[in-house]
């Protein structure tokens, strides 16, 4: 299932990031909940899985995103496919917070 989530996160295009939704059934009911409490990033859940999306740009200033998720006790960081992510100071703060939360969840 993590491959499907990663694949969706990697292939998201066109404007603001779209929610990462699993394409295969999981044991937990699928419900995507988004929170826009972060200025340029957001987080949500798919079943029992939490994920975080941080907006960034590539080296030629196109809008991209980084996705952080937890899979079987491991933190997964998905970047723009074949590109470099450029983060502002505010976006770096959001990435740090997302990684901290994901690490805490992975330890449970």
Does residue 97 register a pLDDT over 70? yes
* Residue among 56, 45, 68, 50 nearest 16 (CA): 56
Distance between CA 6 and CA 10 in Å, rounded?
A: 6
pLDDT in tens, 46-81: 767 788 999 999 889 999 999 999 888 889 999 988
> Between 2 and 86, whose confidence is greater?
86
- Residue 45, pLDDT score: 74
pTM to 2 decimals? 0.55
């Amino acid at each position: 299932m993590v491959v499907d989530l990663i694949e969706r996160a990697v292939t998201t295009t066109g404007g603001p990031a779209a929610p990462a939704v699993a394409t295969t059934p999981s044991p937990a009911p699928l419900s995507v909940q988004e929170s826009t409490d972060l200025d340029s990033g957001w987080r949500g859940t798919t079943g029992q899985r939490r994920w975080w999306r941080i907006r960034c740009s590539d080296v030629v200033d196109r809008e991209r995103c980084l996705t952080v998720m937890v899979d079987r006790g491991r933190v997964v960081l998905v970047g723009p496919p074949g590109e470099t992510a450029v983060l502002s100071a505010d976006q770096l703060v959001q990435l740090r917070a997302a990684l901290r939360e994901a690490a805490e969840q992975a330890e449970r």
